[in-house]
């Protein structure tokens, strides 16, 4: 049977000074395990050129930007503001899961406190994130490895290995392919590498801008059949897909 859709209300808090905007979409896919990311906040000094990537994401991904000026050299006001907001959200009783994008061990006490309330916290940081922060999180995900999984090469199927008679596929936007690949990589697959399309769709749907109708299709199965990166099979009334490119 298909796994039920998680119904949690998830808050994603982003230390924009200490996280890359390139990892945002894969992070959303992982957080779909906890529910829908309805609260998305990024913290930093938005006058800095280094935050340009996050500023662009904020417009397209409904991220609420939180301005934090550098009041004192060497002191990070972003950490304090993120901590205050996280505690307020926890106290509201409306949030059932948290995601923190940062590689800063200063957030370790915050994660520990949230988990004491029985609320899961997923951490997303670089490979050199201190072990204290990693261990405190319910799950810690290395964003570099997460992105590498998306880009990993896959052995293509033989041209005639397609019982559904799928066409060679259309050229589609790379961001759409990446979104579906992220979701495919995150779900359970059988010993032949096939995943239920319904489960892939559940994870992909965590990104609010994703809707098959935006790409000219009524159903997700029709959309996937038009993409050359996937092989599609039908089994007992369910659609299964396998990445081939």
Q: What is the pLDDT of residues 199-243, one digit of tens each?
A: 888 888 765 456 676 677 878 898 999 888 899 999 988 999 999
Polymer length of the chain = 245
The greatest distance separating any two alpha carbons of the chain, rounded to the nearest whole angstrom, comes to 64
Domain boundaries, the chain: 8-149, 174-243
Angle between helical axes of 174-186 and 24-31 (0-180°, round to 10) = 40
Rounded to an integer, what distance in angstroms lies between the CA atom of residue 54 and that of residue 199? Answer: 29
pTM (2 d.p.): 0.67
Rounded to an integer, what distance in angstroms lies between the CA atom of residue 41 and that of residue 51? Answer: 14
Rounded to an integer, what distance in angstroms lies between the CA atom of residue 165 and that of residue 180? Answer: 21
Predicted confidence (pLDDT) per residue in 38-95, tens digit: 999 999 988 888 899 999 889 889 899 998 876 555 446 788 899 999 999 999 999 9
The CATH superfamily holding the domain 8-149 is: 5'-nuclease (3.40.50.1010)
CATH architecture assignment, domain 174-243: 2-Layer Sandwich (3.30)
Question: Coil, strand or helix: which one is 191?
Answer: coil
How many other CB atoms are found less than 10 A from the CB of residue 11? 25
CB 121 within 8 A of CB 98: yes
């Amino acid at each position: 049977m298909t796994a039920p859709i998680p119904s949690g209300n998830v808050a994603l808090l982003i230390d924009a000074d200490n996280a890359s905007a390139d990892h945002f979409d894969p992070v959303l896919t992982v957080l779909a395990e906890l529910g829908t990311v309805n609260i998305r906040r990024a913290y930093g000094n938005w006058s800095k050129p280094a935050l340009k990537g996050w500023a662009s994401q904020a417009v397209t991904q409904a991220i609420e930007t939180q301005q934090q000026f550098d009041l004192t050299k060497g002191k990070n006001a972003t950490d304090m503001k993120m901590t205050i907001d996280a505690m307020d959200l926890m106290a509201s009783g409306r949030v059932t899961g948290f995601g923190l994008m940062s590689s800063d061990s200063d957030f370790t006490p915050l994660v520990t406190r949230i988990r004491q309330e029985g609320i899961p916290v997923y951490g997303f940081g670089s490979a050199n994130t201190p072990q204290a922060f990693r261990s405190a999180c319910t799950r810690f995900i290395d964003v570099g490895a997460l992105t590498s999984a998306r880009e990993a090469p896959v052995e293509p199927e033989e041209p005639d290995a397609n019982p559904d008679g799928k066409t060679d596929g259309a050229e589609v936007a790379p961001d759409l392919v990446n979104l579906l690949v992220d979701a495919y990589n995150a779900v359970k697959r059988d010993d032949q590498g096939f995943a239920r399309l319904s489960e892939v769709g559940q994870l992909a749907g965590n990104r609010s801008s994703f809707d098959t109708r935006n790409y000219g299709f009524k159903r997700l199965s029709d959309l996937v059949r038009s993409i050359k990166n996937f092989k599609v099979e039908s089994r007992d009334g369910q659609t299964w897909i396998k990445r081939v490119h």
